[in-house]
A and B are shown apart, each in its own frame.
Chain A
Amino acid sequence: MTMVTTGGPDGRGDHDDGAFSRTLMAELDPEISDSGYWDRFRFRIMSRAAEELARRRAAGVTIGDVLEKWSRTLVPLAAAAAAVALILIWRGPSIDAPLTMGIEEALTWDLEDEVLPTLFGGEAPGEASAFIFASEAF
């Protein structure tokens, strides 16, 4: 037991107030009248926290894995795509860019509108006859 002593000018110095106050406050500790109180207090908190802790563990694994994979593959790809897009935007559409086309397109370029009328419209009978003779010959 901490006994209260007196001291100081009025017989009640701050040091003594400390002992007095600590003795008083000890009365407010639930453990005094309830042995094992703090163990139970902690147990109740930990029991109720178990679900949230489990959720955090599960969430931690999933999110961590996903972020790690993303950081290894998708992020560099996205960065590269963004860089290419930026370059294209910066350069803009070029008027002087050469016209490019495939071989087949080049062969049939500008002929579509004339081939069928030419063959069946009778405007070039010589050529049509030659086509018929050739097919009969083979």
Chain B
Amino acid sequence: MVAMGRPDDSELVRRARGGDGDAFGVLVNRYMRAAYAVALSVTGAHEDAEDAAQESFLVALQKLEECRNPERFAGWLLTIVRNRSRNLVRRESLRDMDQVPASAHSRTPTPERETERSELRGRLGAALDALSQVQREIVLLHDLEGWKHREIAERLEIPAGTVRSHLHFARKALREALDESLVREVGEERV
């Protein structure tokens, strides 16, 4: 969301087209988490999501002139992220590589807690895989990145009612697939 007094996306895009690093940096800061969430919803693996999200920003910069509606930069960027993530998955499936486990992003393992988290992430990954692509994307953007229904609707170019519906069913499926007590335990340990 763009707060009062902050440059809007179209202004930042215009400046970035002229090579303004600060403007591009603001765009990166504003959308890097959303880009990662969308990439994760497609790839299901942290490393792949990270690569796809970062590559997408660079591709977006190179093709900035193709962004015909700079005020809709976020939606345009997320389309690039989605496409690159799909290409990455396709390439990896062609290579017949093993799927990176959902717990692969744990870089600082601590014994017992990490074991529980790994278990949760594994089950969460499986539960997310069971959702449709758009449901995954919406639940990640809303519940991980904190985007509002309206923002998601604008940027994915779908009706707000559809966003609410997808979010409702995605949450319901996640609840049914996961043991609530496991989530509570991990959450309490984080505090």
- Chain A residues engaging chain B, CB cutoff 8 angstroms: 1-4, 12, 14, 17-18, 20-30, 32-34, 38, 41-42, 44-46, 48-50, 52-60
Select A45's contact among B54, B121, B124, B190, beta carbons within 8 Å: B54
Select B54's contact among A20, A32, A44, beta carbons within 8 Å: A44
Please name all residues of chain A whose beta carbon is closer than 8 Å to the beta carbon of B20 when the two chains form the complex: 53
The answer on a CB contact under 8 Å between B187 and A49 is no
The answer on a CB contact under 8 Å between B190 and A32 is yes
Report 25 cross-chain contacts, Cβ distance below 8 Å, ordered by A residue.
A1-B188, A1-B190, A1-B191, A12-B175, A17-B175, A18-B143, A20-B171, A23-B183, A25-B139, A26-B190, A27-B120, A27-B121, A28-B144, A29-B144, A30-B50, A30-B105, A34-B107, A42-B29, A45-B54, A46-B21, A49-B24, A49-B57, A56-B17, A57-B19, A60-B19
Q: For the complex, what is the distance from the CA of A4 to the CA of B186, rounded to whole Å?
A: 12
Please name all residues of chain A whose beta carbon is closer than 8 Å to the beta carbon of B21 when the two chains form the complex: 46, 49-50, 53
- Nearest B-chain residue to A34, judged by Cβ: B107
Size of chain B's interface in residues, with CB distance under 8 A?
Answer: 49
The 8 closest A-B pairs by CB, nearest first: A57-B19, A56-B19, A17-B171, A25-B144, A1-B191, A25-B143, A21-B143, A21-B171
The answer on a CB contact under 8 Å between B183 and A20 is yes
Please name all residues of chain A whose beta carbon is closer than 8 Å to the beta carbon of B175 when the two chains form the complex: 12, 17, 20-21
**A45-B46 contact, Cβ under 8 Å, with A24-B183, A25-B140:** no
The smallest C-beta distance from B54 to any residue of chain A, in angstroms, reads 5
**A48-B54 contact, Cβ under 8 Å, with A12-B175, A54-B19:** yes
Please name all residues of chain B whose beta carbon is closer than 8 Å to the beta carbon of A4 when the two chains form the complex: 180, 183-184
The smallest C-beta distance from B122 to any residue of chain A, in angstroms, reads 11
Please name all residues of chain B whose beta carbon is closer than 8 Å to the beta carbon of A18 when the two chains form the complex: 143, 171
The answer on a CB contact under 8 Å between A14 and B18 is no
B158 at the interface (CB under 8 A from A): no
Please name all residues of chain A whose beta carbon is closer than 8 Å to the beta carbon of B117 when the two chains form the complex: 27, 33
B156 at the interface (CB under 8 A from A): no
The answer on a CB contact under 8 Å between A33 and B143 is no
The smallest C-beta distance from A50 to any residue of chain B, in angstroms, reads 7
Q: For the complex, what is the distance from the CA of A41 to the CA of B25, rounded to whole Å?
A: 12
